[in-house]
Amino acid sequence: MGCGRRAWMLKLLLLVVVALAAVEYLFGLRTYLGTPAFNITQSTIETDVRKSQPWFNLPLFIQNTLSQNSTQSMTGQNGTEYVRTPHLLNKIMESLRNLVSEDTTQVNEQSMPVCDEVPPDLGPVTANKTEMELDWVEKKYPEVDSGGFYSPPNCTARHKVAIIVPFRDRHQHLAIFLNHMHPFLMKQQIEYGIFIVEQNDTSAFNRAKLMNIGFVESQKKKPGGWQCFIFHDIDLLPLDSRNLYSCPEQPRHMSASIDKLKFTLPYDGIFGGVSAMTLEQFTKVNGFSNRYWGWGGEDDDMFHRMKKMHYHITRYNMSIAVYTMLDHEESAPNPKRFKLLLETSKTLEKDGLSTLKYDLVHVEQHHLYTHVLANIDERS
Ligand SMILES: *[C@@H]1O[C@H](CO)[C@@H](O)[C@H](O)[C@H]1NC(C)=O
Ligand SMILES: *[C@@H]1O[C@H](CO)[C@@H](O)[C@H](O)[C@H]1NC(C)=O
Ligand SMILES: *[C@@H]1O[C@H](CO)[C@@H](O)[C@H](O)[C@H]1NC(C)=O
Ligand SMILES: *[C@@H]1O[C@H](CO)[C@@H](O)[C@H](O)[C@H]1NC(C)=O
Ligand SMILES: *[C@@H]1O[C@H](CO)[C@@H](O)[C@H](O)[C@H]1NC(C)=O
Ligand SMILES: *[C@@H]1O[C@H](CO)[C@@H](O)[C@H](O)[C@H]1NC(C)=O
Ligand SMILES: *[C@@H]1O[C@H](CO)[C@@H](O)[C@H](O)[C@H]1NC(C)=O
């Protein structure tokens, strides 16, 4: 009993010591941050920071740090240059600042409220798969900006999403796809752009390389960049708008439940059809492999890349991740795909975005999509 009490007292003492150390640290911090070297005057904070940042009620010394870079040189009161060295605290402050700035860019851009996390009136939708003219579709969606760009008019979107569609010889599908996707995406209140990436040479179709090209070219088309990328086959149309076209914390396989595949998942690691990755995820895995010519394998290769970088695939409920597939002829499978797959984990760094080569023919803005046309050479 007495022994238990002593242990308890010791713990309490330890706690007090830790608390004192923390207080002292914070106090030291305040003087450290308060040195004149930073030269942020009270008025700067009031006129610039307070107005534009929603965190003005944070303690002053945190504001000072938030509004400065963590490592940079600065001119002090007497004209001397000070270089602040990186420091655990700076790292923490940096992440805090990133968190804050994510919110503030949305607030600062427009004074509109942020869109609801789950937009209203989502649910099952139908697809019109009859052949149609692009002109006819274009007239239906005047609210879409040239290039196939859209952002919700009455609220600030939570997600900035580039839809990347590898393309060749499927002109009959283009109008059907755009006619379905625009209203579907608008309803989800996201900011998006549709990029049709076409292979303009006679080599075998290289879906993965086209998606890498789409990633690179779409990023050039957006000041500030897209944060989320959805790689989308043109023959798949989503049938439930609760299937949100956004990027969660882990890569998401979206087209889990396809009518032609009897609404069942063929195997656990499948990542083809429609899939979503964040900017960070996609760059960390070095994008797709550039080496898959002909049908198949490139999505399984991506699965291996993700596994190597410790990502895992997420999916919506099968009743939400529903798609219908448009009719077309089957493509010839790539006989080399199994051999290539065995090499992925060894070649990840040497094959992908870092080694992407192509000749850009053009990037054209049509009303409902941006057309990226490129030559990719099988020999390179
Ligand atoms: C922070 O540093 C970056 C790169 O060094 C620079 O471009 C940017 O202007 C700096 N921002 C501020 C607020 O000083
Ligand atoms: C400190 O900043 C204020 C406001 O930007 C400026 O007027 C003043 O000259 C600066 N002082 C020094 C010593 O750089
Ligand atoms: C400038 O001021 C800093 C303190 O703010 C001081 O440490 C430094 O010695 C001064 N340098 C000169 C050249 O006066
Ligand atoms: C489907 O598209 C065709 C145009 O090819 C149009 O005439 C028809 O009205 C559409 N059907 C529905 C249900 O919207
Ligand atoms: C935006 O607001 C206007 C005016 O209130 C309304 O007419 C319009 O339908 C709204 N648009 C959307 C997409 O909610
Ligand atoms: C390449 O693009 C040009 C211009 O659009 C087109 O005329 C040509 O047929 C295309 N070639 C191939 C093989 O796709
Ligand atoms: C999927 O959704 C359906 C309908 O909303 C529900 O009945 C079912 O339990 C869900 N399944 C899972 C695994 O969450």
**Verdict on whether the full-model pTM lies above 0.95:** no
pLDDT at 334: 77
Average pLDDT of span 131-160: 96
223-247 burial code (b ≥16 CB/10 A, e <16): eeebbbbbbbbbbbbbbbbbbbbbb
Query: Mind listing the domains of the chain with CATH numbers?
Result: 2-110 (no CATH), 134-375 (3.90.550.10)
d(CA 89, CA 97) in angstroms, rounded, equals 12
Substitution candidate for ligand 2 out of 35, 38, 39 with most atoms within 8 A of CB: 39
107 pLDDT higher than 80 = no
Average pLDDT of span 243-268: 94
> Which residues line ligand 1 at a C-beta cut-off of 6 Å?
69, 72
Which atom, in ligand 6's list, is nearest to the CA of 200?
14
369 pLDDT higher than 60 = yes
The count of residues in the chain is 380
Q: Which residues contact 32 (CB under 8 A, 6 or more apart)?
A: none
Instruction: Tell me the CA–centroid distance for residue 359 and ligand 6, in Å.
Output: 13
26 pLDDT higher than 80 = no
pLDDT bucket at 87, cuts 50 / 70 / 90? low
310 pLDDT higher than 70 = yes
Helix residue ranges per DSSP H, the chain: 2-33, 42-44, 50-52, 60-66, 88-109, 134-140, 171-187, 207-220, 279-284, 298-308, 337-347
d(CA 230, CA 9) in angstroms, rounded, equals 57
Nearest to 101 by CA among 142, 59, 67, 147: 67
Mean pLDDT of the chain: 81
Handedness of CA 55, 56, 60, 66 (dihedral sign): positive
pLDDT at 294: 86
Which atom, in ligand 5's list, is nearest to the CA of 152?
13
